[in-house]
Structure 1
Amino acid sequence: MKTLFRLAILLVFMGIAIPAQAQDSLRIAAVVNDEVISLLDVSMRIRMILVSSQLEDTPEIRQRLMPQVLRGLIDEKLRLQEAERLGVTIPQEEIDSQLALLAQQNNMTLPQFEAVLNRNGILLDTVATQIHADLAWTRLVRMRLSPSITVSEDEIDEALARIAKNQGKPEYLVSEVFLSIDSPDQEPQVRAVAERLIAEIRRGADFSAVARQFSQSATAAAGGDIGWVGPGQLSPPLDAAIRAMQPGQVSAPIRDTGGLHILALRDQRRAGMPEEGTISLKQVFLPLPASAPDDAVAEANTVARSVVERAKNCSDMTRVAREVNPNGNVDLANVRISDLPDILRPIAYNLPIGEPSEPLRVETGIGIFMVCERHIPEASLPSRDEIAERIGRERLDLLARGYMRDLRRAAFVDLRV
């Protein structure tokens, strides 16, 4: 309420009558236990989200965002109340340090950052309150929940074995927005919010900014970044959704334990296979249209099999290529594996050096390939400490969600809008 009181007192001392619109902003949006969230608080937070997400500020967009913004402010209030109840305090110097860091990340000094906020209709206190709530909740969760988390050696062994087993398999760079559902009757409302957020993201809203403001997962602080995940690392519904997506896509709402997830697939690679690896590749290519008659296909396959039988090393591949198709073969030297077509990457990674591949049918012909050099930095498994830390973070996030759910259930919340 500091921002609200400061604004109201300023108006009184200036002798200015508060117009109807300002009076409306001082109305109560919600009462959380014995504390008030005003419409000004809601409006200010919406404005901050619109600016950080690069969304147009229109009445329609504000109306769509308001329910989830208010829900987030209620959660923020509950976190601060719980931190105060248990004596968790955040020194002002720590909040100021985070504000300065935020300004630095935007290539500004703190006074410059505050001036930009003011020009966009945002009070610095709005940002500071959110930082305060995040810091207090993080400290509270670690203090109360971290001591109960243990990760056994067997669990670390299982995780390492799973990672080793997934070497060479697809791996996905994923971000999330998580919206909790505390009771079945909430699901329609939360799903509607998820659909609205997805619509705004697909209209151009920045996913990481939306995650920071709306996600109720620990990853919110990192803009929803989950990091690289392999097969089976996420829950089955999330794993299935990610495998069906292409980089750059955003999922529909996915129901999972505790709530709804919105996933963004940012990139894809093969686990343990560094993309900076390079190869030198020789090829024999036999042109063959997709509509070629059966006898032409049979003849080309016969020639392709003869290439496989005759090419015993890279020198042989060069000689055979000149004999079979003098003008249609291009050697690839020191090519990044990440730049190769998807159909050639398994060959680049897995084909033994100096051995011809099986004939590979593509749209314009048949190719036989041979890897002559391969340079791939040795892939390293994460350390046991890194595995234990990751498992611990995942468990702490689940416990924190449960803690927050309990706070909501025990709270008195009176919505006025």
Structure 2
Amino acid sequence: MKKTIFSMAFAALAVSSALHTGAAVAARVELVDRIVAVVNNEAITASALEERIEQIRRQFARRGDQLPSDDVLRRQVLDQLVAESVQAQRAREAGVRIDDITLDQAIQRIADSNRMTLSQFRSALEGDGISWESFRANIRREMLISRLREQSVESRVVVTDAEIDNFIKNNPDVASETEYRVAHILVRAPEAASPEQLQALAQKAEAAQQSAAAGADFSALAAEVSNAPDALQGGDMGWRAPSAMPGLFAQAVQNMSPGEVSPVLRSAAGFHVMKLIDKRSTGKAEAMVEQTHVSHILIKTTELITDDDARKRLETLRTRVLNGESFEDLARANSDDLSAAKGGDIGWVYPGDTVPEFQRAMDALAPGELSEPVKSPFGWHLIRVEERRTEDVSDKRKRAVARNTLKQRKIEEATDDWLRQLISSAFVQYRLDDVE
């Protein structure tokens, strides 16, 4: 029942409004069969590269940012496609699969988030020059990669109580910090780099720092220079508390003013340049929080069970509960959730622990009250609130924030290392010069 974070990068790009000239379309058609890279046994075509470049150009146009040069943009985007190909291939080797039902549900959520029906969303994509088949393939690949990372990296990250204790000792205000919006440039240093290589990379980072400090467009600079995965997003890391940043960044940012550019920072990954875009106060965290003890019966939709079937089953179960049958017995016999073994009992939950659809329905119920069937990304629910309580969670909140912060830090570091090793172990042959 915890939230699942799903990247919607392709959706954000897909609903932009842009005009394609006949020349651009003709150029893509002309390049359709040319190969710009080979990744193991998979080819990346010029048409796929041009399609992604068009998406990036529309993204930059929406933000009003300056694009890097064509040569740099092509290489950056091709590197991105190579990384995706390596991960998607590894996912298939590992037996990771995304079935059509799961894919359809994800796309429906993307359409919902854009406040469109599925038909309207498809029309918006096709009106923007993106085929429905291509969009589905991109989302499927993104989900494959996400699941692979969960299995290969995230599931193996462990945070100990001793680490949490030490983190809270060094960050006593962890649950009530100022947040910073930071952009960064990474000049990556390869493992076992020679002193000459390190000197050249340091000079490259120093040149970028001097340009940024002199007022150059940081977003364009990041797109052109940075080796970080977010380079084509201008290096924007979004809003983060210092505790949610790498320690090197957290230490630097707290002494910076909005608009200021850091000196070159050195880490194991390479050389960094940071820019503080803005900062804001989140205020003191509430110590008293209302918790809800909740139970539910979940019916998942499948190829055999439609939304209508699931809803009708729950309506029948609801009637049986209202007529005196045991909710717990019906949950054990019918629920598709792990909580079925406990009679549907999820336990005590905090605000934000469940997906919004479930949260809204739960909040509307009085203790002892039974909901109507409720749809969420997980399926259809029959929800019963058992009781509520208000608890002083300041210490628990600190530990929860500390645990999540440390876990996220470890995941980011482990993912970066894992991806670099994955790419270095693959056969990658660039043929970009053959089509230029």
Per the shorter chain, which TM-score range? 0.5 to 0.7
Distance in 2, matches of 1:22 and 1:189, equals 41
Question: Is the counterpart of residue 36 in structure 1 residue 49 in structure 2?
Answer: no
- Deviation of 1:33 (Å): 0.7
What is the identity, as a one-letter code, of the residue corresponding to 2:92?
A: E
Distance in 2, matches of 1:250 and 1:106, equals 35
- Which residue does the alignment assign to 2:408? 393
- Which residue does the alignment assign to 1:234? 246
Distance in 1, matches of 2:254 and 2:182, equals 14
Distance in 2, matches of 1:86 and 1:175, equals 36
- Deviation of 1:396 (Å): 2.2
* Long gaps (5+) in structure 2: 1-24, 287-391
- Deviation of 1:164 (Å): 1.5
DSSP-derived class of the 2:241 partner:
strand
What is the identity, as a one-letter code, of the residue corresponding to 1:227?
A: R
CA contact (8 A) 2:37 2:431 kept: yes
Distance in 2, matches of 1:158 and 1:267, equals 29
Distance in 1, matches of 2:203 and 2:119, equals 38
Question: Is the counterpart of residue 141 in structure 1 residue 149 in structure 2?
Answer: yes
C-alpha spacing 1:147/1:190, structure 2 compared with 1 (3 Å): farther
The one of 247, 271, 276 equivalent to 1:265 is 276
C-alpha spacing 1:234/1:407, structure 2 compared with 1 (3 Å): closer
Distance in 1, matches of 2:65 and 2:282, equals 42
How many residue pairs are counted as aligned between the two chains?
287
Deviations 1:71-119 (A, max 9, x none): 0100000000110111111223333333333333333233333333333
Deviations 1:11-68 (A, max 9, x none): xxxxxxx977623243111000110111111111111122233267999754432111
What is the identity, as a one-letter code, of the residue corresponding to 1:73?
A: L
Distance in 1, matches of 2:68 and 2:160, equals 51
- What does 1:112-151 correspond to in 2, within 5 Å? 112-151=120-159
TM-score by length of 1: 0.55
Q: Once the two structures are aligned, what percentage of the paired residues are identical?
A: 24
C-alpha spacing 1:203/1:145, structure 2 compared with 1 (3 Å): closer
Distance in 1, matches of 2:203 and 2:97, equals 32
- What does 1:87-106 correspond to in 2, within 5 Å? 87-106=95-114
CA contact (8 A) 2:168 2:174 kept: no
CA contact (8 A) 1:100 1:110 kept: yes
- Deviation of 1:272 (Å): 5.7
Deviations 1:185-222 (A, max 9, x none): 69859969x969x89x9759799xx8xxx9537xx9xx
CA contact (8 A) 1:176 1:261 kept: no
- Deviation of 1:156 (Å): 1.1
TM-score by length of 2: 0.53
- Which residue does the alignment assign to 1:354? none
Which is worse superposed, 59-68 or 176-185?
176-185
C-alpha spacing 1:19/1:66, structure 2 compared with 1 (3 Å): closer
Q: CA RMSD in A?
A: 4.6
DSSP-derived class of the 1:30 partner:
strand
Deviations 1:219-253 (A, max 9, x none): x9xx73362115x96333x2354235333567687
- Deviation of 1:399 (Å): 1.6
- State the structure with more CA Rg: 1
Question: Is the counterpart of residue 405 in structure 1 residue 415 in structure 2?
Answer: no
* Long gaps (5+) in structure 1: 1-17, 276-377
The one of 212, 218, 224 equivalent to 2:237 is 224
- Which residue does the alignment assign to 2:29? 22
Distance in 1, matches of 2:144 and 2:185, equals 20
CA contact (8 A) 2:57 2:67 kept: no
Distance in 2, matches of 1:86 and 1:131, equals 19
- Which residue does the alignment assign to 2:179? 172
- Deviation of 1:140 (Å): 1.8
- Which residue does the alignment assign to 2:359? none
Distance in 2, matches of 1:58 and 1:163, equals 38
- What does 1:41-120 correspond to in 2, within 5 Å? 41-53=48-60, 54=62, 61-120=69-128
CA contact (8 A) 1:181 1:260 kept: yes
